[in-house]
Chain A
């Protein structure tokens, strides 16, 4: 009798598992969060279930949503920072994505529902070699290293993987996590290797280059996957970025660098707000206006003015740094090599490095203080700069400078470049 029951139950289990496994169309994936305030109870003795931590309330809500909207679960994880359980679900192919998403959003069990969005890393071009080396000299980083090198500052680099065995990154990369899954190409990823080198390549080791903050500790969080072996371009999505952001916050990073951008994303925006509220500096690259996460209030957005034309920057509600000098930056490349890189990704990396220096000198430093200090430092650098295209001028509404609005958001500060003046 017992055997019969077991066989029947296993058969039921098998067919149930097979019936809803069609989730291979990424366009039908949605992110859904439900309240997860309950911390749950003690699991049965001797049962360790990998990766499953969900409260009864959240599990019940998700089971109901699956049933009511014919959703297929793909993955899920608790975001304790937001007191929610975040699920990735696939919408049934027979139903419209927009219509179903709208209905789910209106469901009282749901806190947030949004499409799975895609993001691209910036700086997607790799200039040919020039007989020049941009870097620490032109921004007077050597002078800054007299007082700070980023020692003790933790910078989370949310990017692709990176060459962990690169000699110029030796000892700089501490914690490593892969939120994408396939680990085979981790060390051959180009973008993350370049960003890591600009921030924290070792100094005074007799080889290669010097990072802006050569003693900083890097948390290398792979949330983006490179499109092809020799292609610097890479993509991420809401899910992988949310995992990386949560990890960076939990690990108490001082600075988060996101050299990437995409459409506005509610879930990621909430997590960035948590990071900012905890005093974490968030730096993001920006290639276009209204690009997320650079346009999130409180995020230091780094744009690269094209060519030699000064790019007028709008005085938005968040700090903007224009780093026109982020062209032809020599940095680390996979395989222990070096290469030149350009773009706002590399500009963001430079600003993250500068922020680490400031953080070390003024720890703990609130984000408004950091912005003010960064603002001043960049202005000073511009004044001393021998090379005209590194001169920088700040545009900060004086009434807002140094004032932290009630919302906790940072004052508006923008920095732009003036050529040759």
Chain B
């Protein structure tokens, strides 16, 4: 049995030292459509990839790329074209206490392949996590899509194991200034997720308020069901 308390070692806080190694994880996913913050950026099958790296000191760099349907710049009537939406972020994060973690990041969102004028923009994100059960995010951009106005998004989501292999998930979000300067809309989702043969599956029903239609086109909001499969590969350590 463990030694008496007097010999038992460092405070519990010592256990929360950095894991000690840099990490690098790669991900791939396919989905029936791509919905981001309640808005369907592609309402047909799509794919996405991600690379996540972190240093033991807490710094991290993430790269996400997904195939989306381009809208024209402020011209929602233009026919869809395909482009890569690339989201690169640099940030810092840490755990505090036994269950909580936070991270702050600056992200640059770049569209590749749309052929139109640049609508790249920078976004700042603050995340708060409670284990793997709850998470909250506040994101802010001072020049969303280079349209000359600021926007923000707040999202609160969580999940809970229903059985040993099935997890229920939910989320609520609110966006301001996306699509139009004074546009506001709320959205939410309910879903189920689980894993099978090294594949994570996810099925969720998403519903977005009326304002979401002004973000891309008239079909980008509303209610829809999204099914996705994803895979992860731990490259480091």
A residues contacting B by CB (< 8 A) are 2, 5-6, 9, 13, 16-17, 21, 23-27, 29, 37-57, 59-61, 63-64, 72-75, 77-78, 80, 88, 97-98, 115-118, 177-182, 221, 225, 235-237, 239-240, 243-244, 246-247, 250-251
Contact = CB atoms under 8 A, between A and B. Distances in A.
Pick the most buried of A46, A51, A78: most chain B CB atoms within 10 A of its CB. A46
Of B9, B107, B161, most A-chain CB atoms within 10 Å:
B9
B54 A115 contact: no
Nearest to A177: B20
Mostly, the A contact residues are mixed
B9 A21 contact: no
A46 B1 contact: no
Contacts of B237: 80, 246-247, 250-251
A42 B87 contact: no
Contact of A39 (B1, B98, B130, B233): B233
Contacts of A225: 9-10, 14
Given A46-B137, A49-B135, A56-B200, A17 B97 contact: yes
Contacts, number: 218
12 contacts: A9-B158, A21-B97, A23-B98, A26-B8, A27-B1, A39-B198, A42-B232, A48-B105, A51-B101, A53-B23, A72-B98, A244-B20
B132 A6 contact: no
Contacts of A2: 172, 174, 186
B25 interface: yes
B181 interface: no
A49 B103 contact: yes
Contacts of A40: 195, 200, 232
- 3 smallest CB-CB distances across A and B, nearest first, come from A41-B200, A26-B8, A50-B93
Given A46-B89, A51-B95, A59 B132 contact: yes
A61 B164 CA distance: 7
Contacts of A77: 19
A366 B130 CA distance: 46
Contact of B10 (A55, A63, A180, A243): A180
Given A17-B97, A52-B101, A57-B165, A23 B21 contact: no
Contact of A55 (B158, B193, B195): B195
B44 interface: no
